[in-house]
Chain A
């Protein structure tokens, strides 16, 4: 039901959130020795989420898998550092900030789509 209404954006939101978690952890650990920067392969994660995310519950005793838990750990990849640092840290703050801005923007885009959808539905329901 919700898939038909909101399409891919509900999943994109939770995955975007998970990706921002990872990027925020990178920025937080920008000065931590030996920390290896991570990122989420968003396209892969979204694909996995869309194809296998929602299993059909054909019996009342089946566990319902929401598929939008934002578990992105399977799609986590290490970032290739542009320049090595003496303490083994691979965080490049500029790159992380750029990626974070991009992730935030995409999140906002998904929010806008959802917002429009909700408004359209409200118009349909109230008929005004």
Chain B
């Protein structure tokens, strides 16, 4: 057992949650990014979390195993005046659900906070252990 394993665990969660926040930020930023065809439209990103185990088979945190793109169909919007509109007057918007993304963001934020809390608590306890008897 490494004495500082707990920092790796909390740290891995911070990294994973920040990837999730990045994906959410990317999705929100591109929510109104319309394109001229259904293929060229932005696809929402979604990180997939996975348990990380160490050599001894013990749980050692979390990692992002993959960042998948959502396969939901693009929204077809009729905007004949738009410069990117196709021959029939349609533009294509990514199927990013802003409410869903906000919920995702809050969830990631809360998880991040929990792990920072763990990190700080353990740091304090470790400092106290190191100064034992002084």
Contact = CB atoms under 8 A, between A and B. Distances in A.
B122 A24 contact: yes
A104 B125 CA distance: 8
Interface string A2-43: 000000000001000110111011011111110100100000
B51 interface: yes
Interface of B is mostly: helix
Nearest to B107: A31
A32 B132 contact: no
Contacts of A69: 1
B33 interface: no
A20 B59 CA distance: 12
B106 to A, nearest CB: 12
Interface residues of B, number: 35
B1 A29 contact: no
Contacts of B114: 27, 30, 93, 97
A45 B21 CA distance: 38
A33 B49 contact: yes
Contact of B125 (A22, A108, A115): A108
Contact of B9 (A17, A28, A93, A119): A28
Given A29-B51, A93-B114, A118 B133 contact: yes
Contacts, number: 91
Instruction: Name the interface size band of chain A.
Output: 20 to 34
Contact of A20 (B12, B108, B117, B122): B122
A25 B59 CA distance: 7
A114 B51 CA distance: 36
Interface of A is mostly: helix
Nearest to B49: A32
Contacts of A18: 1
Interface in B12-43: 12-13, 16-17, 20
Given A13-B129, A30-B13, 16 more contacts: A17-B3, A20-B6, A24-B9, A28-B16, A28-B115, A29-B59, A31-B17, A31-B111, A69-B1, A93-B114, A97-B114, A97-B117, A111-B128, A115-B133, A118-B132, A118-B133
Interface of B: 1, 3, 5-6, 9-10, 12-13, 16-17, 20, 48-51, 58-62, 107-108, 110-111, 114-115, 117-118, 121-122, 125, 128-129, 132-133
